[in-house]
Structure 1
Amino acid sequence: MVAEGRQKLDRPLVVLAGTVVVGAVAALLDTTIVGVALDAIARDFGTTDGSVVWVTTSYLLSLALITPLVGWGADRFGSTTMWHFAIVSFLVGSVLCALAWDTTSLVVFRALKGIGGGMVLPLCQAILARAAGPERFGRAMSLVSIPGLAAPVLGPVVGGFIVDGLGWRWVFLINVPLCLLALVLALRFMPANGPRRATSVDWVGMLLLPPGLVLVVYGFSRIDSPSAFTDPVVASVLLVGVGLIAWFCVHALRVPEPLVNLRLFRFRGFSSSAALTFLHGVGSYAPLVVLPLFFTRVGGHDAATTGWLLAPQGAGTLLAVIFAGVLADRYGARPLVLTGVVGTIAGTVVFTQLSAQPHEVLLGASLFVRGLGLGLIGISVLTAAYRGMAADDIAQATGAISIVQRLGASAGAAGVAVVLAVALASISPTAAGTEVAGAYGETFWWVLGTTVLALIPAFAVPRTTKPATATAE
């Protein structure tokens, strides 16, 4: 056990956290800024909304493809080497996107960019987890999360200014100075690769899990109405994707070194954290599909105003993570997770009553409370996930957690899109504003249900604040 005097966040760890956060901010900004630019891209290339959506979809598919390989790559080549590769890939992809000449080229370059973008956040967690250890990981992640969470809050607003003032290509070029700074800092402050494991390549796993995840994400991206469930293409894609993932699960339990080590789920902290991470992804991303549409189409606000109306959730999350790491290290993850779930439930209830047209101040306050809850859950879950785990398993665990989170985000976005489509289809095109608002409110009953469901794994999070031994709990 580490001596008590070394439990503080020393200067090397703080400097390392600042180093990786620069790359993380670039990846997080990209997820919110690009959405603001899609309309300008469609007008510039003269393409349809259905085609330009693939600028985002191709990126999501690339993330799903690369995430399972992050843990294996970190074990095989070292986390620092993989970090350099991720930042360079993201930089090259950003430049190519800015130079795109049509929609097809932009879609291809976004997929290339997703290779680096999909590695950045899992590697950020893995590098900090190794350096901090379970006792300090919560506080270290708080340092990273504070500036990282400011990126998605400010992203839509900054993106609007960039698109209107400089053009959509600068939405991608803004990543260039951030990536160059991230590379310089990594070369200066990031430690050399530690001992590397000469792991063999799980070729069967590579042929099963990444394509399975890609097919599932693609299938979800095609669901934009209730009738999509009966589409033979959508049904076939989802069925094959789920089948490949199930096949991988059987395979992973039979081989000694699978692409993703499912045996990590024997740790109670990890398994409960994985379930919470999935539901946290649903709770975080599902409202981001509904609320912008509600504020613009029902509230009549422009994009810039909508960005500010969504800001309270990010502000609440930002405030929560400032204290969540220290509290999780001191009192354990379970009390914070339970508090976070209850807060998220409380902040979601008012959105189920949108037909009553609640005041925007009340909506903003509810979003702030939701943000507090989501922030407490996010940091506390990461803190609990690595307790009782050997250092050699951290990279694999980080990759698995990232996969679960991205599946939750995809499922949440697809779920609310279908629920909203059903609700809007049930009302007349000439319906009053209260009826339309009520249709948006119905989608939040689905969000509320998944949040309540998170109470089950929340009670399974380990209570202890002491570092567990590397054995199954």
Structure 2
Amino acid sequence: MSSQAQAAPAKLDAAVLKIAGVVVLGAIMSILDVTVVSVALPTFQSTFGATYAEVAWTMTGYTLALATVIPLTGWAADRFGTKRLYMTALVLFTVGSVLCATADTIGQLVGYRVLQGLGGGMLMPLGMTIMTRAAGPERIGRLMAVLGIPMLLGPIGGPILGGWLIDVASWHWIFLINVPIGAIALVYAWFALEKDNPEPSESFDFLGMLMLSPGLASFLYGVSSLPEAGSFSATKVWLPMLLGGLLVIGFVFYSFKPKHPLLDLRLFTNRNLTVSTVTLAVFTIAFMGAGLLFPSYFLQVRGESTLHAGLLMAPQGIGAMVTMPIAGVLADKIPIGRTVPFALLLLAAGFFTFTQVGTDTSYVLLCGSLFVMGLGMGGTMMPIMTSALKTLTNHEVARGSTLLNIMQQIAGSVGSAMMSVILTNQLNDSAVIPGLTTPTGEPMTEAGAAIASHQVPQIAEQLPPDVLQRGFEFVADSFATTFWVGFALTLATLIPAYFLPRQRQAPNLLEPDATPAAPIVMH
């Protein structure tokens, strides 16, 4: 630990903030790119003449690459050092971005997105490790608040930026914009990050890698195929989920045997890390899953443009910006078990409004509710991560942050797929319009016609107003039903949150080279 971290635990000094700037730049690239691409899917369909299922792989391929590389990050950080590995991740991500902009086919674009994901997957866990080591345990809360800004603003800024770039330039620029950011981050990292002092080489867990990385990728492939297939009974859903699940379970039993496993599950003997991870996972399933549907409501029910839908989501980011710095300071002073439950109640209160949405719900009410949700979210995510890492030794931080990132990745994928399937199944129950078919020849439903009428005005001209109105009401009711599930899961997060620490945590003040026999358990 640096002497600065020991001498000035009450505030973030210039040296620490300089390092935080490097990490925030990398996080902005990684997180923003996910949401920017989601806006461009319809553009990819028309540009490459592909189906929605095909272009969706530009998102899925990126996610699978993240899941594959994240488990390797903890070992690689110890073996090669965080600075050189972080700079390598920046180069991979930036080169992948340039290649994405040159893609001529949807297959090439998916392949380049995988390369991009290999770099992006390392940026977040490495960033958390670098910042935690720089600040020391007394200031993790404040530092996590800094890192949390891009994590919360990415989903809001991405659709706005993506919509604007596609409107004024072309889809290529949603990738090319990463080039100057990546170049600046690379130069910045070279000068700002301390020279690496990698630890003695540990044996690499090849057997663990052969089980965990393919297992996670296979499981998430099945999960990601669920919205398209619509049912767990589809072979492309249950078979990869089963195979992936068996590999991951096999890894869990195996991981306690080697001295240096690929993923150190022994860290879960730390009660604080375990409770924080479970709370974060339930929270991510609830909020990240349903959160993707908020802009869809504005697009499909209210007929807003992509840019306007992104702007309507802005109050959520503003709310998070208000509470996140406060939550960071409080996390260093007050046990999070006394603050996070109140933040979750704020989140649930804002969420409840969306369980009542209709075709003409007031934008003032919806934006106000998003602001309240932002207040709750800003006081939830980063304090939980702070609590999870605070009692780990410096040596354990890289592995602990890897565990957190994997759990968050899995939970986010499960939440997104689950909410998409619930919404799709709701919409499929809509009445069929006689004589009207989709471009693929399938019968068109009233809900489908209502959604399509925003992009194809001729559909609205062909249908009686009452049929179209019924379709819009059915779509709105389907969203409301799906939001009820998200609301219930948000309340369910209060259960593991009840077990978060309610007494002041004593941070682990061991020096970087001091490794205890077992993780410290805080009760």
The TM-score with structure 2 as length reference comes to 0.87
1:327 matched to 2:330: yes
What amino acid does structure 1 have at the position aligned with 2:520? T
Which of 50-59 and 108-117 deviates more?
50-59
Deviation at 1:450, TM superposition (A): 1.5
Q: Hey, what does 1:243 align to over in structure 2?
A: 246
Which of 143-152 and 418-427 deviates more?
143-152
Q: Hey, what does 2:520 align to over in structure 1?
A: 471
1:220 matched to 2:223: yes
Does structure 2 conserve the Cα–Cα contact (< 8 Å) formed by 1:153 and 1:315?
Answer: no
1:444 matched to 2:483: yes
Does structure 2 conserve the Cα–Cα contact (< 8 Å) formed by 1:94 and 1:176?
Answer: yes
Distance in 2 between residues matched to 1:6 and 1:305, nearest whole Å:
43
Does structure 2 conserve the Cα–Cα contact (< 8 Å) formed by 1:86 and 1:116?
Answer: yes
Q: Hey, what does 1:271 align to over in structure 2?
A: 274
What amino acid does structure 2 have at the position aligned with 1:442? T
Aligned-partner SS, 2:257: coil
Deviation at 1:18, TM superposition (A): 1.2
Q: How does 1:31-430 map to 2 (within 5 A)?
A: 31-146=34-149, 149-224=152-227, 227-355=230-358, 357-428=360-431, 429-430=445-446
CA gap of 1:67–1:132, structure 2 versus 1, over 3 A, is: same
Deviation at 1:438, TM superposition (A): 1.1
What per-residue deviation string (whole Å, max 9, x for no partner) do you get for residues 355-380 of structure 1?
Answer: 48532211111111111111211111
Which of 302-311 and 401-410 deviates more?
302-311
Does structure 1 conserve the Cα–Cα contact (< 8 Å) formed by 2:144 and 2:383?
Answer: no
What per-residue deviation string (whole Å, max 9, x for no partner) do you get for residues 204-253 of structure 1?
Answer: 11011111111111111111267521112311111111111111100112
Distance in 2 between residues matched to 1:40 and 1:233, nearest whole Å:
26
Does structure 2 conserve the Cα–Cα contact (< 8 Å) formed by 1:225 and 1:421?
Answer: no
Distance in 2 between residues matched to 1:200 and 1:463, nearest whole Å:
39
Deviation at 1:159, TM superposition (A): 1.2
Deviation at 1:5, TM superposition (A): 4.5
Distance in 1 between residues matched to 2:198 and 2:504, nearest whole Å:
29
Aligned-partner SS, 2:357: helix
Deviation at 1:468, TM superposition (A): 4.0
Uncovered stretches (5+) of structure 2, i.e. residues with no partner: 432-444, 447-469, 509-518
What amino acid does structure 2 have at the position aligned with 1:462? P
Deviation at 1:195, TM superposition (A): 4.2
Aligned-partner SS, 1:460: coil
What amino acid does structure 2 have at the position aligned with 1:338? P
CA gap of 1:339–1:404, structure 2 versus 1, over 3 A, is: same
Aligned-partner SS, 1:386: helix
Uncovered stretches (5+) of structure 1, i.e. residues with no partner: none
Distance in 1 between residues matched to 2:487 and 2:391, nearest whole Å:
32
What per-residue deviation string (whole Å, max 9, x for no partner) do you get for residues 38-92 of structure 1?
Answer: 2222222222222111111111110111111111111111111110110000011
Q: Hey, what does 2:513 align to over in structure 1?
A: none
Distance in 2 between residues matched to 1:150 and 1:236, nearest whole Å:
36
Number of equivalent positions:
473
What amino acid does structure 2 have at the position aligned with 1:344? L
Q: Indicate the RMSD between aligned Cα atoms, in angstroms.
A: 1.8
Distance in 1 between residues matched to 2:411 and 2:151, nearest whole Å:
20
Distance in 2 between residues matched to 1:402 and 1:90, nearest whole Å:
18
CA gap of 1:147–1:419, structure 2 versus 1, over 3 A, is: closer
Deviation at 1:321, TM superposition (A): 1.1
Distance in 2 between residues matched to 1:55 and 1:404, nearest whole Å:
22
What per-residue deviation string (whole Å, max 9, x for no partner) do you get for residues 77-108 of structure 1?
Answer: 11111101100000110111111111111110
Instruction: Return the index of the structure with the highest Cα Rg.
Output: 2
Does structure 2 conserve the Cα–Cα contact (< 8 Å) formed by 1:289 and 1:417?
Answer: no
Aligned-partner SS, 1:224: helix
